[in-house]
């Protein structure tokens, strides 16, 4: 069934109605995820997620089979893709191939926020 989650956030603090904010736990304190479109919306082909990383935090350094489409909404980070490190910021669009080692490390004193699209599992 089609669904609309109305935007309920503000600049650099994105939230949507009826979408829970999930924290990652101690190792990743200051990192949250919202599944804007996913299983709850019966999305069979893709999931759209919003990640927020507070200053001085980072995402997991990971490698997995699925690819990602990422769009930076706010903040800046150093993105590691395999052995390459690149600064990324607002409106940068990133494709992360499956099995590529990757990690976002927040740069500066503003939170990093980005949308991430993955294939539904």
Pairwise CA distance, residues 62 & 114, whole Å: 17
The answer to whether the beta carbons of residues 112 and 53 sit under 8 Å apart is yes
Q: Tell me whether residue 2 is one of the annotated catalytic residues.
A: no
Tokens of 94: 């990133």
- The residues that bridge with 84 in the sheet, in sequence order, are 81
- C-alpha distances (whole Å) from 63 to each of 16, 59, 97, 101 are 29, 12, 10, 5
Of the residues 38, 103, 116, 117, only one is catalytic, namely 116
Pairwise CA distance, residues 121 & 109, whole Å: 35
| Residues forming the active site | 116
């Amino acid at each position: 069934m089609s669904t609309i989650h109305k935007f309920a956030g503000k600049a650099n603090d994105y939230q949507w109605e009826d979408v829970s904010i999930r924290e990652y736990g101690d190792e990743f304190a200051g990192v949250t995820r919202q599944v804007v479109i996913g299983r709850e919306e019966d999305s069979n082909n893709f999931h759209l997620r919003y990640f927020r990383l507070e200053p001085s935090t980072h995402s997991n350094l990971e490698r997995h089979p699925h690819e990602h489409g990422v769009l930076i909404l706010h903040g800046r980070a150093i993105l590691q893709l395999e052995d390459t490190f690149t600064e990324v910021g607002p409106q940068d669009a990133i494709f992360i191939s499956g099995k590529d080692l990757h990690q976002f490390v927040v740069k500066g004193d503003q939170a990093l926020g980005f949308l991430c699209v993955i294939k539904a599992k």
